[in-house]
Amino acid sequence: MREIIFDTETTGFDPFKGDRIVEIGCVEMVNQILTGEIFHVYINPERDMPQSAFEVHGLSADFLKDKPKFSEIVDDFVNFVGDDSKLVAHNASFDMKFVNAELGFLSRKPYEKLRVVDTLEIARRKHPMGPNSLDALCNRYSIDNSKREKHGALLDAELLADVYIELLGGKQRGLDFKQEDGPERIDTFKKKIAKKRPNVLSPRLNEQEKAAHKAFIDSLGQDTLWHQVWKKEKAGI
């Protein structure tokens, strides 16, 4: 199974009020293992950069003015995503709103909701008391996010990939005796019932060893647990 973990940076919150994507970062995962393949691009939004957005990601209009427009990178992006790969994002409704809007502006087919995995929804189910921001989940799972001074699409996608693996059960979940297979859990090991010995084993301690053990118990005092156990054994209790 191929999945694309991705993130976007934008000029604001609403693509239908003039906001645009300014950065896309994607990492490829196959069978929940990172392959090292990435897609990363800065995009000229063809508009100014609001100060509030600049403070989030640090991408200025001057920096972006010579970068390609979305129409110039759309084929590369669509080809990297592929025809049936899952799209994984944190608060995916935000990112997909922008991606599908950009595709729509170019009369391209939008991505269906069934192809989208929202890690925020997974985190809220798994950790209902929160917090479930990307930074909070990195801290919860001891993922190093010290380089995340500002939001960056590729760095955030890479961090999210590590978080996603942990949300699915962690890197060692393949060693579990039980594993997920659809809605039900399937036991891969069945409990075995131990058979009784046909003959009781003869004692391995000789009389000298038993006497030494009793002397040791007596040296601990009459009120010790060991002494109480020894008295019950002697009485056959």
Last residue of one domain, picked from the residues 130, 154, 173: 173
Token readout for 72 is 């110039």
Full domain range(s) for residue 230: 207-237
Q: Is 96 contained in some domain?
A: yes
Per-residue model confidence as pLDDT tens digits over 183-210: 443 344 444 455 666 666 667 677 777 7
pLDDT confidence of residue 184: 40
> Which one of 127, 151, 213, 227 is the catalytic residue?
151
Q: Is 151 a catalytic residue?
A: yes
Residues 31, 133: one domain? yes
Where the chain has pLDDT below 50, the residues are: 174-192
Q: Is 202 contained in some domain?
A: no
Residues 6, 112: one domain? yes
Q: Is 156 contained in some domain?
A: yes
Query: What's the pTM?
Result: 0.71
Residues 154, 213: one domain? no
Q: Is 190 contained in some domain?
A: no
Long-range contacts of 69-78 (CB under 8 A, 24+ apart): 69/43, 69/44, 70/20, 70/21, 70/43, 70/102, 70/105, 70/106, 71/106, 73/24, 73/41, 73/43, 74/102, 74/103, 74/106, 74/108, 76/39, 76/41, 77/24, 77/26, 77/39, 77/41, 78/108
Q: Is 200 contained in some domain?
A: no
Q: Is 71 contained in some domain?
A: yes
Last residue of one domain, picked from the residues 121, 147, 173: 173
Q: Is 22 contained in some domain?
A: yes
Q: What is the CATH number of the domain that holds 96?
A: 3.30.420.10
Residues 84, 132: one domain? yes
pLDDT confidence of residue 185: 39
Residues 169, 215: one domain? no
pLDDT confidence of residue 174: 46
Residues 161, 66: one domain? yes
Residues 124, 211: one domain? no
Residues 109, 156: one domain? yes
Residues 132, 218: one domain? no
Residues 113, 43: one domain? yes
Residues 50, 8: one domain? yes
Q: What is the DSSP string of 168-215?
A: TT-TTGGGSSEEEETTEEEESSPPPPPPPPSSPPPP---HHHHHHHHH
Last residue of one domain, picked from the residues 173, 198, 224: 173
Q: Is 40 contained in some domain?
A: yes
pLDDT confidence of residue 213: 76
Residues 98, 35: one domain? yes
pLDDT confidence of residue 186: 39
User: Per the structure, how many domains does the chain have?
Assistant: 2
